Amino acid sequence: MRGWGGLAPAKGGNAAIEFALATPILIGLLVPVADIGMAFSQQIKVQQAAQAGAQYALLHGWDSASTPPGSKISNAVTAATTLTSVSALPAPTTSYGCPTGTTIAAAANGGTCADGETAGSYVFVNAQSAYTPTLPYSVFGSGVTLTAQAAVRIQ
């Protein structure tokens, strides 16, 4: 029994056992947080791509002469990011409208808005990209489509 008495005060392996038990839980929490961070990063890139298309429309106007119309704006969207899966879908559109808070209400060309201003010409640019999570989550399924839209009034 003298050999067993020396084991009771031994505490050298407790930290290793606790670390071995806690590590899977910590990794189980860390991986989804990192995955969500990568999804947010990609969402920001998609939004920046849509804004780059709107900026192109602001500087160059609506490219009705290109085939199909708006294709130069679409090219600006895809060229604005290093994401290979980004696309300008639905395609850019143009319409006349009046700003009303956070939206743009459709109006006729040359029409008058509620605030007395003349309806403006707006270009709407969309961008989207598929995001596939690192690990499969039941909430996302096999993936999610990240989308963004930017609108700009052109002269």
Does 129 score more than 90 pLDDT? yes
Query: Using the 8-state DSSP alphabet, how is residue 67 labeled?
Result: S
Alpha helices in 6-153 (DSSP H): 14-60, 71-79
CB 15 within 8 A of CB 47: no
93-100 and 103-106 as β-strands: parallel, antiparallel, unpaired? antiparallel
Residues 4-12 have a mean pLDDT of 60
- Report the first-to-last Cα separation within the chain, whole angstroms: 95
Q: What is the mean pLDDT of the chain?
A: 87
**pLDDT tens profile 69-80:** 889 999 999 999
Assigned token pair, 39: 């999804």
Report CA 42 to chain centroid distance, whole Å.
5
Question: How far is it, in rounded angstroms, from Cα 95 to Cα 108?
Answer: 9
Instruction: Note if the pTM is more than 0.85.
Output: no
**pLDDT tens profile 105-125:** 999 988 899 889 899 999 999
